[in-house]
Every structure is written in C-alpha cells, then in structure tokens.
Amino acid sequence: MDNRPIGIFDSGIGGLTVFKEIRELLPNEDLIYFGDTARVPYGSKSVQVIRKFSSEIATYLTLQNVKMLVVACNTASALALSTLKSETSLPVIGVIDPGVRAAIKFAGDGPVGVIGTRATIASGAYQDRISRLRCNLRFVARACPLLVPIVEENLMQSDIARMALEMYLSDFKKQQVSSLILACTHYPLLKSLINEFFEGKTVLIDSALETALEVREVLQARRINSDSTQSGHETFFVSDSPEAFSEIAADFLGRPVAGECFLHSWQNEI
C-alpha cells in the first residue's frame, strides 16, 4: 500500500481526458496534475525541448512526492518516455503503449491508422510500437496540426472541421483503415465527426481509458495502490493562469475542478 499521490502531466489542458478516466477508475487515489500552459503546445517543437520540458515537470512532480508518473501527453510520451524512465525509479506510464494495444486488438487485417501532432508522427514512436507487436501489420500515419486549434475554437461541428478531416483523412478512408488511434488528447472531442467521416466503419481508439486501465494494473502489480476509503484529493499545478485553466478544465472534466489549482512559474536564469 502506498497512499502518496499519482502525478499526471500534459503540455496543457488536454491531459485532463486521461486524468478524468483515472479518477473514475480509481476514486480513492490522490491525484496531482501538472499542465505546462505557459509553454504549450509541445507538438510543433524539437525533441530536445520536449525532453527538457518533460524532465523539468517530472522533477517537479517528484518533489511533490508522487508514487508514479503518468505522461498524459502523446507528444511527450512519443519523445520523452525513455528519458524520463532513465531519470527516475518511479514507474512511468505513457499513453502510447495502451493505445497501440487497443488498436491492434481491433485491427483485423489492418491497416492501423495514427493521427497526431507533427512531433508525435515524426518521432515514429507509434509505428515502432505497432511493428514490434505485429510486425506485418500495415499502418498509415499523418500529422494533423489544424485539429487542435479547431477544437480550441469550439468548431467541432463546423464545415471547417469537416473540410479539415476530408483533407487529412481521405487517404485513411481509401486504404480502409480498420482502427485509428486518436494520438492527441484533443482529438476525442472530434470523435463524432470522425465517426461520421468513416461512416462508422473504422474503430476509433482514444488512449485515455486504456491508459487508466494500465495505471490500475501497475498499481496492483506493484502493490502501491492506496488503501484509503475516502474520495481522493485533487491538486492542480499550471505554469500560466490558474483561473483560465480552471474555467476550461470544467469543460474537459464535465464538472468544476474539485481541488486547488496553483501557479508554478518557471524561474529562468539568463
């Protein structure tokens, strides 16, 4: 038993989709969430910067005495997971392996599709994992940089969103992709439109639930789950305005933020 909190982080707010699934599956665990809202997004940045930022957050969460790190960000999972694992003795869980396992389960004869940020797709991390698990399975991957701003502009049901999907996903349709990994925490908010586009013929994989299941498994396997019978505490740290975060977070969580939300301002030495 270990009653320390689970640390969860993302480049910004999207990781709350993972936070939400973990909360539902593990109601008694204390959770700490870090959103790097001052430096968001990561998806258009370099490997070096993504690793540096991820390590800084992991160090910060470790100082908060967490028992596990959950990288609730596809870009950081794709590019920084091995770096983080080499820097800590805590268990580190990313969103890629859970997503890939689910995609393969529904893949049939494939191909499997992956959409994500520029950095995630360029990293080849999803492609690597898929071919390691089923080496002959074909896959199609594409970066879709317009989808995050479309979600952030609340245009999930607009013609602009339809046109962007047409542009990004025609090739996936042509190749009759059997399962498609939504490899960015914002994309599940476009799920119904993507489903419409594929006429329900492609299984859409949202890694959030799969990741939460893996978190539970690892807690149990290592016997580090909490024995509390109370509702777990929730604490949030963000590097930009806690007020703005709390407001948008309520949309992601489907309820107001329950715990306290603090500002952690990075102190730069020049």
Q: Which residues are catalytic, by number?
A: 73, 184
Closer to a copy of itself at the Cβ: 28 or 154? 154
Closer to a copy of itself at the Cβ: 107 or 144? 144
Smallest distance, a copy of itself to C-beta of residue 95, A: 23
Smallest distance, a copy of itself to C-beta of residue 79, A: 13
What number of other Cβ atoms are within 10 A of residue 140's Cβ?
18
- Among 84, 72, 76, smallest CA distance to 43 is for 76
Query: Cis (ω within 30 of 0) for the bond into 91?
Result: no
Q: Tokens for 245?
A: 């975060």
Closer to a copy of itself at the Cβ: 44 or 82? 44
Smallest distance, a copy of itself to C-beta of residue 59, A: 6
Smallest distance, a copy of itself to C-beta of residue 157, A: 13
State the virtual CA torsion across 212, 264, 53, 45 in degrees, nearest 10: 90
Q: Which residues contact 33 (CB under 8 A, 6 or more apart)?
A: 8, 9, 10, 15, 16, 19, 234, 235, 236, 237
State the Cα–Cα distance between residues 155 and 26, nearest whole angstrom: 32
Coil, strand or helix: which one is 62? helix
State the Cα–Cα distance between residues 99 and 79, nearest whole angstrom: 16
Q: Phi then psi for 259, rounded to 5 degrees?
A: -90, -170
Interaxial angle between packed helices 74-87 and 96-105, expressed in degrees from 0 to 180 and rounded to the nearest 10: 120
Closer to a copy of itself at the Cβ: 2 or 152? 152
Closer to a copy of itself at the Cβ: 56 or 87? 56
Binding site residues, a copy of itself, CB under 8 A: 37-39, 44-46, 48-49, 52-53, 56, 59-60, 63, 145-146, 148-150, 152-153, 155, 159-160, 163-164, 167, 239-241, 244, 265-270
Smallest distance, a copy of itself to C-beta of residue 76, A: 14
